[in-house]
Structure 1
Amino acid sequence: MYHLTALVTLLAILFFFFTCMNVSRSRTKTGIKVPAMSGHPDFERAFRIQMNTLEWMPIFLPSLWLFAIYISDAIAAGIGAVWIIGRIVYFVGYSQAAAKRGPGFAIQGTAAIALWAGALGAVVLRLVS
């Protein structure tokens, strides 16, 4: 069973939902009306946080699950938790200033690449053996 990976998946989805709600809150706070996508730096940063998270979800989630299936549920969940922590650090930094998004991006990017590379290695190893 993959209970830990399932939990991390649900937490990642919860974090994405939080970023969606943050964009809505930011629209209200800054007066940016739908469908406008720009006009106030605070809103634009909130929107980019949400979109960047969405952009990484199709990289992160399949890699997370393939890693869990081919290597380990617990290790996948641990690396997945690091990805979520990286997204939170990214959120906090980018909310303050665009220049502060780097550390969180590096954390989540490293975690995602570790999951992807681990899954790829495990799949290739199974194919050749």
Structure 2
Amino acid sequence: MYPLTLIGTLAALAVYVWASIAVGQARGKFGVKAPATTGHPEFERAFRAHQNTMEQLVLFLPLVWIVATLFGDLWGGLYALAWVVGRIAYVIGYIKDAEKRGAGFLISGLTSLAALVGAVVAVVIDLVR
């Protein structure tokens, strides 16, 4: 069992749900009725932060489990923690002002890049042996 990776996976999904709720709140606050995806700038930023998080989950979810399988639960959990912290910072920053999303993007993006490169290197080394 991989308890740290499991907790990290659940936390990532919770961030996604939280971002979804933020979109719903912005719809109500600014009167943007579904299925509209444009309207008040703050709504649009909340919508994009949510969509971007969903797009990143496609990479994160398999990768966190690949990391845990290759390097152990601690590494899977640490990757998940960094990704979740980055995504929280990203969503908060983006909703406030699109210019403030950079730090969160870098945290989650660079950790995903490091995890991907590490996994590829580990698999290649294993294949060469």
- Matched with 1:57 is 57
Q: TM-score, normalised by structure 2?
A: 0.96
Q: TM-score, normalised by structure 1?
A: 0.96
Which stretches in structure 2 are left out of the alignment for 5+ residues?
Answer: none
- Matched with 1:37 is 37
Compute the displacement of 1:80 (Å).
1.3
- Matched with 1:112 is 112
Q: 1: distance between equivalents of 2:101 and 2:82?
A: 16
Compute the displacement of 1:40 (Å).
0.6
Which string of whole-angstrom CA distances, capped at 9 and with x for unpartnered residues, describes residues 1-29 of structure 1? Answer: 21110110011001101111111111001
| Percentage of matched positions with identical amino acids | 43
Which string of whole-angstrom CA distances, capped at 9 and with x for unpartnered residues, describes residues 36-69 of structure 1? Answer: 1101101000000100000100111111110110
> SS state of the match for residue 32, structure 1?
coil
- Matched with 1:12 is 12
Q: 2: distance between equivalents of 1:118 and 1:67?
A: 8
Which string of whole-angstrom CA distances, capped at 9 and with x for unpartnered residues, describes residues 50-107 of structure 1? Answer: 0000010011111111011011210121121011000111112111101111111001
Q: 2: distance between equivalents of 1:72 and 1:79?
A: 11
Alignment RMSD, CA only? 0.9
Which stretches in structure 1 are left out of the alignment for 5+ residues?
Answer: none
Compute the displacement of 1:121 (Å).
1.4
- Matched with 1:2 is 2
Q: List structure 1 runs of 4+ shifted beyond 3 angstroms.
A: none
- Matched with 1:21 is 21
Q: 2: distance between equivalents of 1:2 and 1:118?
A: 19
